[in-house]
A and B are shown apart, each in its own frame.
Chain A
Protein backbone atom coordinates (compact mmCIF):
# COMPACT_ATOMS: atom_id res chain seq x y z
CA UNK A 1 0.00 0.00 0.00
CA UNK A 2 1.19 3.48 -0.78
CA UNK A 3 2.03 5.59 2.22
CA UNK A 4 1.32 8.77 0.31
CA UNK A 5 -1.88 10.35 1.45
CA UNK A 6 -1.99 13.19 -1.05
CA UNK A 7 -5.61 14.02 -1.94
CA UNK A 8 -6.91 11.08 -0.03
CA UNK A 9 -10.52 12.23 -0.12
CA UNK A 10 -11.41 11.44 -3.69
CA UNK A 11 -13.07 8.68 -5.67
CA UNK A 12 -14.74 6.03 -3.53
CA UNK A 13 -13.57 7.55 -0.24
CA UNK A 14 -15.15 10.86 -1.20
CA UNK A 15 -18.36 9.19 -2.35
CA UNK A 16 -18.69 7.30 0.91
CA UNK A 17 -18.11 10.44 2.98
CA UNK A 18 -20.57 12.39 0.84
CA UNK A 19 -23.27 9.81 1.52
CA UNK A 20 -22.84 10.47 5.24
CA UNK A 21 -22.82 14.25 4.80
CA UNK A 22 -26.23 13.87 3.17
CA UNK A 23 -27.62 12.33 6.38
CA UNK A 24 -27.29 15.64 8.24
CA UNK A 25 -28.72 19.13 7.68
CA UNK A 26 -27.01 21.03 4.88
CA UNK A 27 -25.32 23.50 7.19
CA UNK A 28 -23.97 20.75 9.50
CA UNK A 29 -21.13 19.14 7.57
CA UNK A 30 -19.17 18.76 10.80
CA UNK A 31 -21.63 16.04 11.84
CA UNK A 32 -19.97 13.80 9.26
CA UNK A 33 -16.62 14.10 11.03
CA UNK A 34 -16.92 10.74 12.80
CA UNK A 35 -17.97 8.72 9.74
CA UNK A 36 -15.38 10.55 7.63
CA UNK A 37 -12.60 9.61 10.04
CA UNK A 38 -13.81 6.02 10.11
CA UNK A 39 -13.90 5.76 6.34
CA UNK A 40 -10.50 7.37 5.92
CA UNK A 41 -9.08 5.05 8.58
CA UNK A 42 -10.59 1.98 6.93
CA UNK A 43 -9.05 2.97 3.60
CA UNK A 44 -5.66 3.68 5.16
CA UNK A 45 -4.78 0.29 6.64
CA UNK A 46 -6.72 0.97 9.82
CA UNK A 47 -5.07 4.07 11.22
CA UNK A 48 -5.06 7.85 10.96
CA UNK A 49 -2.27 10.37 10.48
CA UNK A 50 -2.15 14.09 11.12
CA UNK A 51 -2.19 14.68 7.39
CA UNK A 52 -5.35 12.58 7.00
CA UNK A 53 -7.06 14.38 9.86
CA UNK A 54 -6.12 17.70 8.27
CA UNK A 55 -7.68 16.58 4.99
CA UNK A 56 -10.89 15.63 6.79
CA UNK A 57 -10.87 19.05 8.46
CA UNK A 58 -10.45 20.82 5.17
CA UNK A 59 -13.09 18.74 3.43
CA UNK A 60 -15.67 19.36 6.15
CA UNK A 61 -14.75 22.99 6.72
CA UNK A 62 -13.59 22.35 10.29
CA UNK A 63 -10.64 23.64 12.25
CA UNK A 64 -7.95 20.92 12.33
CA UNK A 65 -7.95 20.97 16.14
CA UNK A 66 -11.66 20.12 16.18
CA UNK A 67 -10.95 17.02 14.12
CA UNK A 68 -7.97 16.03 16.30
CA UNK A 69 -10.24 16.32 19.33
CA UNK A 70 -12.76 13.91 17.85
CA UNK A 71 -10.09 11.55 16.54
CA UNK A 72 -8.41 11.26 19.94
CA UNK A 73 -11.57 11.23 22.08
CA UNK A 74 -13.22 8.17 20.57
CA UNK A 75 -11.54 4.84 21.17
CA UNK A 76 -12.10 3.33 17.75
CA UNK A 77 -9.69 5.62 15.93
CA UNK A 78 -6.12 4.42 15.75
CA UNK A 79 -3.11 6.67 15.54
CA UNK A 80 -0.47 3.98 15.07
CA UNK A 81 -0.24 1.22 12.48
CA UNK A 82 -2.35 -1.83 13.35
CA UNK A 83 -2.39 -5.41 12.16
CA UNK A 84 -4.28 -6.48 9.07
CA UNK A 85 -6.61 -8.05 11.60
CA UNK A 86 -7.05 -5.92 14.66
CA UNK A 87 -8.44 -8.03 17.46
CA UNK A 88 -10.58 -5.85 19.72
CA UNK A 89 -10.58 -7.73 22.97
CA UNK A 90 -13.33 -6.98 25.45
CA UNK A 91 -11.96 -6.19 28.88
CA UNK A 92 -15.16 -5.54 30.79
CA UNK A 93 -16.86 -7.30 33.67
CA UNK A 94 -18.94 -10.06 32.04
CA UNK A 95 -16.07 -11.16 29.81
CA UNK A 96 -13.73 -10.92 32.77
CA UNK A 97 -16.03 -13.13 34.86
CA UNK A 98 -16.01 -15.79 32.15
CA UNK A 99 -12.28 -15.99 31.72
CA UNK A 100 -11.65 -13.28 29.14
CA UNK A 101 -8.42 -12.15 30.72
CA UNK A 102 -6.87 -15.63 30.84
CA UNK A 103 -7.90 -16.19 27.24
CA UNK A 104 -6.29 -12.92 26.15
CA UNK A 105 -3.04 -14.07 27.74
CA UNK A 106 -3.22 -17.28 25.70
CA UNK A 107 -3.92 -15.20 22.62
CA UNK A 108 -0.84 -13.08 23.25
CA UNK A 109 1.18 -16.24 23.65
CA UNK A 110 -0.12 -17.77 20.43
CA UNK A 111 0.45 -14.66 18.33
CA UNK A 112 3.68 -13.72 20.05
CA UNK A 113 2.50 -10.16 20.59
CA UNK A 114 1.47 -8.17 23.59
CA UNK A 115 -1.75 -6.22 23.72
CA UNK A 116 -1.14 -2.94 21.90
CA UNK A 117 1.47 -4.42 19.58
CA UNK A 118 1.48 -5.60 15.97
CA UNK A 119 2.81 -9.04 15.06
CA UNK A 120 6.07 -9.13 13.12
CA UNK A 121 4.33 -10.19 9.92
CA UNK A 122 1.84 -7.35 10.31
CA UNK A 123 -1.08 -9.75 10.33
CA UNK A 124 -2.43 -9.30 13.85
CA UNK A 125 -2.66 -6.71 16.56
CA UNK A 126 -4.51 -6.86 19.85
CA UNK A 127 -6.38 -3.91 21.28
CA UNK A 128 -8.02 -4.01 24.69
CA UNK A 129 -11.43 -2.34 24.54
CA UNK A 130 -14.20 -1.72 27.02
CA UNK A 131 -17.60 -3.42 26.99
CA UNK A 132 -18.66 -4.38 23.44
CA UNK A 133 -22.29 -4.84 24.48
CA UNK A 134 -22.63 -8.54 23.78
CA UNK A 135 -22.08 -9.83 27.33
CA UNK A 136 -24.46 -12.76 26.79
CA UNK A 137 -21.78 -14.26 24.55
CA UNK A 138 -18.84 -13.56 26.85
CA UNK A 139 -15.97 -13.84 26.38
CA UNK A 140 -16.06 -12.02 23.08
CA UNK A 141 -13.87 -10.12 20.67
CA UNK A 142 -14.42 -8.08 17.55
CA UNK A 143 -12.25 -8.57 14.48
CA UNK A 144 -12.91 -6.10 11.72
CA UNK A 145 -16.66 -5.57 11.83
CA UNK A 146 -17.54 -9.01 13.15
CA UNK A 147 -18.28 -10.14 16.68
CA UNK A 148 -17.03 -13.52 17.84
CA UNK A 149 -18.83 -14.81 20.90
CA UNK A 150 -18.55 -17.62 23.45
CA UNK A 151 -14.86 -17.88 22.74
CA UNK A 152 -12.82 -20.79 23.98
CA UNK A 153 -9.14 -21.38 23.40
CA UNK A 154 -10.11 -23.88 20.72
CA UNK A 155 -12.66 -21.72 18.90
CA UNK A 156 -10.47 -18.62 19.06
CA UNK A 157 -7.39 -20.36 17.69
CA UNK A 158 -9.44 -22.02 14.95
CA UNK A 159 -10.83 -18.63 14.00
CA UNK A 160 -7.36 -17.10 13.81
CA UNK A 161 -6.00 -20.00 11.77
CA UNK A 162 -8.75 -19.48 9.23
CA UNK A 163 -7.92 -15.82 8.67
CA UNK A 164 -5.71 -15.32 5.66
Chain B
Protein backbone atom coordinates (compact mmCIF):
# COMPACT_ATOMS: atom_id res chain seq x y z
CA UNK B 1 0.00 0.00 0.00
CA UNK B 2 1.22 3.46 -0.85
CA UNK B 3 0.48 6.06 1.80
CA UNK B 4 -0.62 9.38 0.38
CA UNK B 5 -1.44 12.93 1.47
CA UNK B 6 -0.20 12.83 5.05
CA UNK B 7 1.32 16.31 5.15
CA UNK B 8 0.98 19.28 2.77
CA UNK B 9 -1.88 17.65 0.88
CA UNK B 10 -3.74 16.31 3.91
CA UNK B 11 -6.69 18.66 3.36
CA UNK B 12 -6.86 18.46 -0.42
CA UNK B 13 -9.85 16.14 -0.43
CA UNK B 14 -11.95 18.66 1.53
CA UNK B 15 -14.12 21.27 -0.07
CA UNK B 16 -12.63 24.73 0.47
CA UNK B 17 -9.38 23.28 1.82
CA UNK B 18 -7.90 26.77 1.25
CA UNK B 19 -10.23 28.35 3.77
CA UNK B 20 -9.11 29.22 7.28
CA UNK B 21 -12.21 27.55 8.73
CA UNK B 22 -11.23 24.24 7.19
CA UNK B 23 -7.64 24.64 8.29
CA UNK B 24 -8.49 25.54 11.87
CA UNK B 25 -11.10 22.76 12.11
CA UNK B 26 -8.30 20.35 11.27
CA UNK B 27 -5.82 21.53 13.86
CA UNK B 28 -4.43 24.47 11.95
CA UNK B 29 -2.69 27.30 13.84
CA UNK B 30 -2.57 25.21 17.04
CA UNK B 31 1.23 25.04 16.78
CA UNK B 32 1.43 28.75 16.11
CA UNK B 33 -0.58 29.42 19.29
CA UNK B 34 1.87 27.32 21.29
CA UNK B 35 4.79 29.15 19.73
CA UNK B 36 3.62 32.69 20.46
CA UNK B 37 2.48 31.71 23.96
CA UNK B 38 6.02 30.56 24.70
CA UNK B 39 5.04 26.94 25.23
CA UNK B 40 7.26 25.94 22.32
CA UNK B 41 10.63 27.70 22.39
CA UNK B 42 12.76 28.49 19.35
CA UNK B 43 15.63 26.22 20.41
CA UNK B 44 13.22 23.31 20.93
CA UNK B 45 11.61 23.94 17.55
CA UNK B 46 14.99 23.79 15.85
CA UNK B 47 15.74 20.50 17.62
CA UNK B 48 12.40 19.09 16.54
CA UNK B 49 12.96 20.16 12.93
CA UNK B 50 16.44 18.62 13.03
CA UNK B 51 14.98 15.39 14.36
CA UNK B 52 12.41 15.37 11.57
CA UNK B 53 15.29 15.08 9.13
CA UNK B 54 13.52 17.33 6.65
CA UNK B 55 15.79 18.57 3.90
CA UNK B 56 15.09 21.56 1.71
CA UNK B 57 12.39 20.68 -0.77
CA UNK B 58 13.39 23.21 -3.40
CA UNK B 59 16.02 20.92 -4.83
CA UNK B 60 19.26 21.38 -2.94
CA UNK B 61 18.22 19.17 -0.02
CA UNK B 62 19.97 21.18 2.67
CA UNK B 63 18.88 20.18 6.21
CA UNK B 64 16.28 22.74 7.29
CA UNK B 65 16.95 22.61 11.04
CA UNK B 66 20.63 23.27 10.43
CA UNK B 67 19.83 26.20 8.14
CA UNK B 68 17.63 27.79 10.80
CA UNK B 69 20.37 27.37 13.40
CA UNK B 70 22.64 29.68 11.38
CA UNK B 71 20.50 32.64 12.40
CA UNK B 72 21.18 34.51 15.61
CA UNK B 73 17.69 35.18 16.90
CA UNK B 74 18.83 37.59 19.59
CA UNK B 75 20.98 39.76 17.30
CA UNK B 76 19.56 43.29 17.09
CA UNK B 77 18.00 44.66 13.92
CA UNK B 78 15.54 43.54 11.28
CA UNK B 79 15.64 39.96 10.01
CA UNK B 80 13.60 38.30 7.28
CA UNK B 81 12.06 34.97 6.51
CA UNK B 82 11.62 34.46 2.79
CA UNK B 83 9.70 31.73 1.04
CA UNK B 84 10.86 30.64 -2.37
CA UNK B 85 7.77 29.99 -4.48
CA UNK B 86 9.47 30.89 -7.74
CA UNK B 87 8.67 27.46 -9.05
CA UNK B 88 10.09 27.27 -12.57
CA UNK B 89 12.23 24.18 -12.93
CA UNK B 90 10.78 22.28 -15.89
CA UNK B 91 8.71 19.43 -14.52
CA UNK B 92 7.99 21.08 -11.16
CA UNK B 93 4.48 22.14 -10.18
CA UNK B 94 4.01 21.16 -6.54
CA UNK B 95 4.26 24.56 -4.85
CA UNK B 96 1.50 25.87 -7.08
CA UNK B 97 -0.85 23.31 -5.54
CA UNK B 98 0.27 24.05 -1.98
CA UNK B 99 -0.83 27.64 -2.58
CA UNK B 100 -4.09 26.56 -4.15
CA UNK B 101 -5.10 23.88 -1.68
CA UNK B 102 -3.31 24.49 1.61
CA UNK B 103 -2.14 28.10 1.77
CA UNK B 104 -2.62 28.35 5.53
CA UNK B 105 -0.02 25.65 6.16
CA UNK B 106 2.41 27.93 4.36
CA UNK B 107 1.28 31.00 6.29
CA UNK B 108 1.66 29.12 9.58
CA UNK B 109 4.99 27.60 8.54
CA UNK B 110 6.38 31.01 7.59
CA UNK B 111 5.13 32.55 10.84
CA UNK B 112 6.79 29.79 12.88
CA UNK B 113 10.05 30.01 10.94
CA UNK B 114 10.02 33.79 11.34
CA UNK B 115 9.59 33.45 15.08
CA UNK B 116 12.40 30.92 15.36
CA UNK B 117 14.91 33.11 13.53
CA UNK B 118 13.66 36.37 15.05
CA UNK B 119 12.11 37.80 11.90
CA UNK B 120 9.07 40.02 12.24
CA UNK B 121 8.58 40.26 8.48
CA UNK B 122 8.26 37.63 5.81
CA UNK B 123 8.14 37.70 2.03
CA UNK B 124 6.73 34.98 -0.15
CA UNK B 125 8.28 35.23 -3.61
CA UNK B 126 5.66 33.82 -5.98
CA UNK B 127 6.39 33.58 -9.67
CA UNK B 128 4.36 36.20 -11.50
CA UNK B 129 2.56 33.71 -13.73
CA UNK B 130 0.94 32.12 -10.66
CA UNK B 131 -1.84 34.68 -10.43
CA UNK B 132 -4.49 32.30 -9.13
CA UNK B 133 -2.19 30.75 -6.46
CA UNK B 134 -1.21 34.30 -5.48
CA UNK B 135 -4.85 35.28 -5.03
CA UNK B 136 -5.50 32.25 -2.85
CA UNK B 137 -2.42 32.96 -0.75
CA UNK B 138 -3.28 36.66 -0.41
CA UNK B 139 -6.72 35.67 0.81
CA UNK B 140 -5.09 33.35 3.35
CA UNK B 141 -2.90 36.20 4.64
CA UNK B 142 -5.98 38.39 5.03
CA UNK B 143 -7.89 35.64 6.82
CA UNK B 144 -4.97 34.99 9.16
CA UNK B 145 -4.69 38.70 9.92
CA UNK B 146 -8.40 38.96 10.68
CA UNK B 147 -8.14 35.94 12.97
CA UNK B 148 -5.29 37.61 14.84
CA UNK B 149 -2.63 35.10 13.76
CA UNK B 150 -0.66 37.78 11.92
CA UNK B 151 -0.05 41.43 12.66
CA UNK B 152 0.86 43.31 15.81
CA UNK B 153 0.96 41.73 19.26
CA UNK B 154 -0.23 38.35 18.00
CA UNK B 155 -2.73 36.78 20.41
CA UNK B 156 -1.51 39.11 23.14
CA UNK B 157 2.01 37.71 22.99
CA UNK B 158 3.80 40.96 22.25
CA UNK B 159 5.21 39.33 19.08
CA UNK B 160 4.69 41.05 15.73
CA UNK B 161 4.79 39.23 12.44
CA UNK B 162 3.46 40.11 9.04
CA UNK B 163 3.62 38.60 5.59
CA UNK B 164 4.03 40.11 2.16
CA UNK B 165 4.13 38.79 -1.37
CA UNK B 166 6.61 39.68 -4.06
CA UNK B 167 5.59 38.61 -7.54
CA UNK B 168 8.20 37.53 -10.05
CA UNK B 169 8.03 38.45 -13.71
CA UNK B 170 9.34 35.52 -15.68
CA UNK B 171 12.88 34.57 -14.67
CA UNK B 172 13.79 31.03 -13.64
CA UNK B 173 17.03 32.27 -12.11
CA UNK B 174 15.10 33.98 -9.31
CA UNK B 175 14.63 30.54 -7.79
CA UNK B 176 18.31 30.86 -6.83
CA UNK B 177 18.08 32.38 -3.39
CA UNK B 178 20.39 35.34 -3.81
CA UNK B 179 18.92 36.19 -7.21
CA UNK B 180 15.55 36.06 -5.49
CA UNK B 181 16.76 38.56 -2.91
CA UNK B 182 18.06 40.88 -5.64
CA UNK B 183 14.68 40.62 -7.32
CA UNK B 184 12.76 41.62 -4.18
CA UNK B 185 15.13 44.57 -3.94
CA UNK B 186 13.88 45.68 -7.35
CA UNK B 187 16.86 44.63 -9.44
CA UNK B 188 17.78 42.16 -12.14
CA UNK B 189 17.75 38.68 -10.67
CA UNK B 190 21.44 37.92 -10.86
CA UNK B 191 22.88 35.67 -8.16
CA UNK B 192 25.25 37.16 -5.64
CA UNK B 193 28.71 35.86 -5.02
CA UNK B 194 28.84 33.89 -1.77
CA UNK B 195 29.97 34.34 0.94
CA UNK B 196 28.46 36.30 2.52
CA UNK B 197 25.50 33.96 2.82
CA UNK B 198 21.96 35.26 3.34
CA UNK B 199 22.02 34.31 7.02
CA UNK B 200 24.49 37.15 7.55
CA UNK B 201 23.77 39.42 4.58
CA UNK B 202 20.42 38.76 2.93
CA UNK B 203 17.41 40.86 1.97
CA UNK B 204 18.24 44.57 2.26
CA UNK B 205 21.54 43.46 3.76
CA UNK B 206 19.78 41.95 6.77
CA UNK B 207 20.06 38.40 8.11
CA UNK B 208 17.65 36.28 6.07
CA UNK B 209 16.53 32.68 5.86
CA UNK B 210 15.11 31.40 2.61
CA UNK B 211 13.18 28.14 2.45
CA UNK B 212 11.14 26.42 -0.21
CA UNK B 213 7.34 26.44 -0.09
CA UNK B 214 6.98 22.73 0.57
CA UNK B 215 9.57 22.88 3.34
CA UNK B 216 7.78 25.70 5.15
CA UNK B 217 4.33 24.21 4.61
CA UNK B 218 5.58 20.99 6.24
CA UNK B 219 6.61 22.71 9.47
CA UNK B 220 3.19 22.87 11.18
CA UNK B 221 2.65 19.11 10.83
CA UNK B 222 6.21 18.33 11.94
CA UNK B 223 5.68 20.32 15.11
CA UNK B 224 2.14 19.08 15.67
CA UNK B 225 3.06 15.41 15.43
CA UNK B 226 6.73 15.59 16.32
CA UNK B 227 10.03 15.39 14.48
CA UNK B 228 10.24 11.67 15.14
CA UNK B 229 6.85 11.06 13.55
CA UNK B 230 7.94 12.85 10.40
CA UNK B 231 11.35 11.22 10.25
CA UNK B 232 9.87 7.75 10.69
CA UNK B 233 7.60 8.21 7.69
CA UNK B 234 10.66 8.31 5.50
CA UNK B 235 13.92 6.44 5.25
CA UNK B 236 17.52 7.03 6.30
CA UNK B 237 18.77 10.49 5.26
CA UNK B 238 15.32 11.42 4.00
CA UNK B 239 12.69 12.15 6.59
CA UNK B 240 9.00 12.44 5.96
CA UNK B 241 6.83 12.83 2.94
CA UNK B 242 7.60 14.38 -0.41
CA UNK B 243 5.51 15.90 -3.13
CA UNK B 244 6.39 14.36 -6.46
CA UNK B 245 5.29 16.14 -9.60
CA UNK B 246 4.91 13.50 -12.28
CA UNK B 247 4.64 14.72 -15.85
CA UNK B 248 5.34 13.61 -19.38
CA UNK B 249 4.24 10.34 -20.92
CA UNK B 250 1.95 8.99 -18.21
CA UNK B 251 -1.79 8.43 -18.22
CA UNK B 252 -2.47 10.43 -15.08
CA UNK B 253 0.08 13.19 -14.58
CA UNK B 254 -0.11 15.20 -11.37
CA UNK B 255 1.24 15.76 -7.89
CA UNK B 256 1.51 12.84 -5.51
CA UNK B 257 2.41 13.24 -1.87
CA UNK B 258 4.00 9.99 -0.75
CA UNK B 259 6.55 8.88 1.80
CA UNK B 260 10.24 9.24 1.12
CA UNK B 261 11.56 5.91 -0.07
CA UNK B 262 8.43 4.97 -2.03
CA UNK B 263 9.48 2.75 -4.94
CA UNK B 264 9.55 4.58 -8.25
CA UNK B 265 7.44 1.76 -9.70
CA UNK B 266 4.65 2.58 -7.25
CA UNK B 267 4.80 6.27 -8.08
CA UNK B 268 4.60 5.45 -11.77
CA UNK B 269 1.56 3.32 -11.06
CA UNK B 270 -0.10 6.16 -9.14
CA UNK B 271 0.43 8.28 -12.23
CA UNK B 272 -1.44 5.74 -14.29
CA UNK B 273 1.55 4.08 -15.93
CA UNK B 274 2.99 4.85 -19.34
CA UNK B 275 0.51 6.27 -21.81
CA UNK B 276 -0.61 4.73 -25.08
CA UNK B 277 0.38 1.26 -23.87
CA UNK B 278 4.03 2.04 -24.46
CA UNK B 279 7.10 1.16 -22.45
CA UNK B 280 9.26 3.37 -20.25
CA UNK B 281 12.40 4.64 -21.91
CA UNK B 282 13.89 7.12 -19.48
CA UNK B 283 13.17 9.24 -16.43
CA UNK B 284 14.42 12.59 -15.24
CA UNK B 285 13.68 12.12 -11.54
CA UNK B 286 14.27 15.53 -9.99
CA UNK B 287 13.51 18.20 -12.57
CA UNK B 288 15.28 19.35 -15.69
CA UNK B 289 18.49 19.99 -13.75
CA UNK B 290 19.02 16.35 -12.83
CA UNK B 291 20.51 13.45 -14.75
CA UNK B 292 18.45 11.33 -17.13
CA UNK B 293 18.14 7.71 -16.06
CA UNK B 294 17.45 4.82 -18.44
CA UNK B 295 14.35 2.77 -17.61
CA UNK B 296 16.17 -0.20 -16.11
CA UNK B 297 17.90 1.96 -13.53
CA UNK B 298 14.80 4.00 -12.74
CA UNK B 299 12.63 0.94 -12.22
CA UNK B 300 14.96 -0.29 -9.50
CA UNK B 301 15.20 2.93 -7.51
CA UNK B 302 13.18 4.29 -4.63
CA UNK B 303 12.17 7.92 -4.34
CA UNK B 304 14.65 9.19 -1.78
CA UNK B 305 17.97 11.02 -1.91
CA UNK B 306 20.31 8.05 -1.48
CA UNK B 307 18.49 5.62 -3.73
CA UNK B 308 18.21 8.09 -6.61
CA UNK B 309 21.86 9.07 -6.15
CA UNK B 310 22.80 5.39 -6.31
CA UNK B 311 20.88 5.10 -9.56
CA UNK B 312 22.94 8.00 -10.89
CA UNK B 313 20.76 11.06 -10.52
CA UNK B 314 19.35 13.41 -7.89
CA UNK B 315 16.04 13.83 -6.11
CA UNK B 316 16.08 17.58 -6.75
CA UNK B 317 12.62 19.07 -6.38
CA UNK B 318 10.94 15.69 -6.91
CA UNK B 319 9.93 16.56 -10.45
CA UNK B 320 9.64 13.27 -12.25
CA UNK B 321 9.61 13.62 -16.03
CA UNK B 322 8.63 10.41 -17.76
CA UNK B 323 9.65 9.56 -21.31
CA UNK B 324 8.18 6.69 -23.30
CA UNK B 325 9.97 4.42 -25.76
CA UNK B 326 9.15 6.68 -28.71
CA UNK B 327 10.95 9.68 -27.23
CA UNK B 328 13.63 11.25 -29.37
CA UNK B 329 16.28 11.90 -26.73
CA UNK B 330 18.24 14.34 -28.90
CA UNK B 331 15.21 16.52 -29.52
CA UNK B 332 14.31 16.35 -25.83
CA UNK B 333 17.79 17.60 -24.95
CA UNK B 334 17.50 20.34 -27.54
CA UNK B 335 14.33 21.44 -25.77
CA UNK B 336 16.06 21.47 -22.37
CA UNK B 337 19.10 23.29 -23.71
CA UNK B 338 16.84 26.04 -25.07
CA UNK B 339 15.45 26.49 -21.59
CA UNK B 340 18.84 27.07 -19.98
CA UNK B 341 20.03 29.28 -22.79
CA UNK B 342 16.89 31.38 -22.45
CA UNK B 343 17.06 31.51 -18.67
CA UNK B 344 20.79 32.11 -18.16
CA UNK B 345 21.04 35.47 -16.41
CA UNK B 346 24.11 36.41 -18.41
CA UNK B 347 26.37 37.19 -15.51
CA UNK B 348 28.98 34.44 -15.88
CA UNK B 349 30.57 34.04 -19.30
CA UNK B 350 30.77 30.19 -19.32
CA UNK B 351 27.01 29.93 -18.74
CA UNK B 352 25.93 32.88 -20.89
CA UNK B 353 27.98 31.71 -23.88
CA UNK B 354 28.10 27.99 -23.20
CA UNK B 355 24.34 27.47 -22.95
CA UNK B 356 23.98 29.16 -26.35
CA UNK B 357 26.66 26.90 -27.84
CA UNK B 358 24.95 23.80 -26.50
CA UNK B 359 21.59 24.90 -27.90
CA UNK B 360 23.01 25.81 -31.28
CA UNK B 361 24.95 22.55 -31.57
CA UNK B 362 21.90 20.48 -30.63
CA UNK B 363 19.80 22.45 -33.12
CA UNK B 364 22.38 21.74 -35.79
CA UNK B 365 22.35 18.03 -34.97
CA UNK B 366 18.55 17.84 -35.02
CA UNK B 367 18.51 19.73 -38.32
CA UNK B 368 20.63 17.00 -39.83
CA UNK B 369 23.76 19.11 -40.01
CA UNK B 370 25.65 17.57 -37.14
CA UNK B 371 29.38 17.05 -37.41
CA UNK B 372 31.37 14.05 -36.19
CA UNK B 373 33.16 16.19 -33.62
CA UNK B 374 29.91 17.54 -32.13
CA UNK B 375 29.53 14.93 -29.41
CA UNK B 376 32.99 15.65 -28.08
CA UNK B 377 32.23 19.36 -28.36
CA UNK B 378 29.00 18.98 -26.35
CA UNK B 379 30.96 17.26 -23.60
CA UNK B 380 33.76 19.82 -23.78
CA UNK B 381 31.49 22.85 -23.53
CA UNK B 382 29.54 21.20 -20.69
CA UNK B 383 32.76 20.55 -18.81
CA UNK B 384 33.81 24.16 -19.20
CA UNK B 385 30.57 25.48 -17.74
CA UNK B 386 30.46 23.01 -14.85
CA UNK B 387 32.00 24.45 -11.73
CA UNK B 388 33.03 27.70 -13.39
CA UNK B 389 29.96 29.76 -12.58
CA UNK B 390 28.52 31.57 -9.55
CA UNK B 391 25.31 29.61 -9.21
CA UNK B 392 23.81 26.23 -10.04
CA UNK B 393 22.08 27.20 -13.30
CA UNK B 394 25.15 26.72 -15.44
CA UNK B 395 25.91 23.35 -13.91
CA UNK B 396 22.26 22.38 -14.26
CA UNK B 397 22.35 23.18 -17.96
CA UNK B 398 24.90 20.42 -18.50
CA UNK B 399 23.74 17.63 -16.19
CA UNK B 400 20.77 16.19 -18.10
CA UNK B 401 22.56 16.62 -21.42
CA UNK B 402 25.77 14.94 -20.26
CA UNK B 403 23.83 12.00 -18.86
CA UNK B 404 21.72 11.71 -22.01
CA UNK B 405 24.87 11.56 -24.11
CA UNK B 406 26.23 8.94 -21.74
CA UNK B 407 23.19 6.66 -21.83
CA UNK B 408 21.86 7.35 -25.32
CA UNK B 409 24.97 8.26 -27.29
CA UNK B 410 23.88 6.07 -30.23
CA UNK B 411 20.94 8.42 -30.83
CA UNK B 412 23.22 11.42 -31.15
CA UNK B 413 25.57 9.42 -33.39
CA UNK B 414 22.67 8.33 -35.59
CA UNK B 415 21.59 11.92 -36.10
CA UNK B 416 25.11 12.95 -37.02
CA UNK B 417 25.73 10.02 -39.36
CA UNK B 418 22.31 9.83 -41.01
CA UNK B 419 20.93 13.32 -40.55
CA UNK B 420 17.81 12.02 -38.83
CA UNK B 421 16.49 10.42 -35.67
CA UNK B 422 16.60 6.70 -34.95
CA UNK B 423 12.81 6.94 -35.01
CA UNK B 424 12.66 8.41 -38.50
CA UNK B 425 11.77 5.85 -41.14
CA UNK B 426 12.61 7.13 -44.55
Contacts and interface: CB of A to CB of B under 8 A. Distances in A.
Interface of A: 23-25, 28, 30-35, 37-38, 60, 62, 66, 69-70, 73-77, 88, 91-94, 96-98, 129-138, 142, 145-147
A45 B65 CA distance: 47
B93 A136 contact: yes
B167 A136 contact: no
Given A34-B167, A135-B253, A62 B186 contact: yes
Interface of B: 78, 87-93, 95-96, 127-132, 164-172, 183-189, 204, 245-249, 253-255, 284, 288, 319, 321, 323, 327, 332, 335-336, 338-339, 342-343, 345
A102 B167 CA distance: 31
B170 A98 contact: no
B89 A93 contact: no
29 contacts: A24-B164, A30-B185, A31-B184, A37-B169, A38-B169, A62-B186, A66-B186, A66-B187, A70-B186, A73-B189, A74-B170, A74-B189, A75-B170, A76-B128, A92-B288, A93-B321, A93-B332, A93-B336, A129-B170, A130-B90, A130-B339, A130-B343, A132-B129, A133-B93, A136-B245, A138-B247, A142-B129, A145-B132, A147-B129
Contact of A75 (B87, B167, B171, B319): B171
B332 A97 contact: yes
A93 B288 contact: yes
A23 B131 contact: no
Contact of A97 (B87, B321, B342): B321
Contacts of B246: 136
B90 A92 contact: yes
A92 B335 contact: yes
B248 A69 contact: no
Given A34-B183, A38-B128, A142-B129, A135 B245 contact: yes
Contacts of A73: 171, 188-189, 345
A23 B165 contact: yes
B177 to A, nearest CB: 17
A138 B335 CA distance: 15
A75 B174 CA distance: 12
Given A70-B187, A73-B171, A136 B254 contact: yes
A60 B186 CA distance: 10
A66 B253 CA distance: 42
B93 A93 contact: no
Contacts of A145: 131-132
Contacts of A136: 93, 245-247, 253-255
A67 B323 CA distance: 42
Nearest to B288: A93
Contacts of A88: 129
B94 to A, nearest CB: 9
Contact of B93 (A91, A129, A134): A134
Contacts of A31: 166, 184-186
A94 B170 contact: no
